[in-house]
Amino acid sequence: MKKIIVACGSGIATSTVARNALEEKLKEKGIDATQVSMDQTSIPQLRSKADQFDLAITTGKFTEDIGVPILNGLPFLTGIGEDALVEKVVDVLDLKPKA
């Protein structure tokens, strides 16, 4: 199972929106909860939790090296570029739809 952490300023508001959008888009692609687990955190806490995850998605600016790939989750909030971001998530984690 691949693990994704979604981070925003507080770990509550926009990370929830981004997480829900990603879960929905992955489900549409045939990728379900048995393949991916997600958690949320605040951007300040991201450094201390990153080593437990395969991918980090942030809704705010974050460029620090934390040892895992980081994707900008802003498209999940605006809808602009959302499909391209989902494809990046799928590619980075090498996810395949369930048969």
Give catalytic residues, as residue numbers: 8
Helix (H, G, I), strand (E, B) or coil at 21: helix
| Residues composing the chain | 99
Closest CA to 6 of 30, 31, 33, 37: 37
Strands 2-8 and 36-42: parallel
State the Cα–Cα distance between residues 29 and 11, nearest whole angstrom. 26
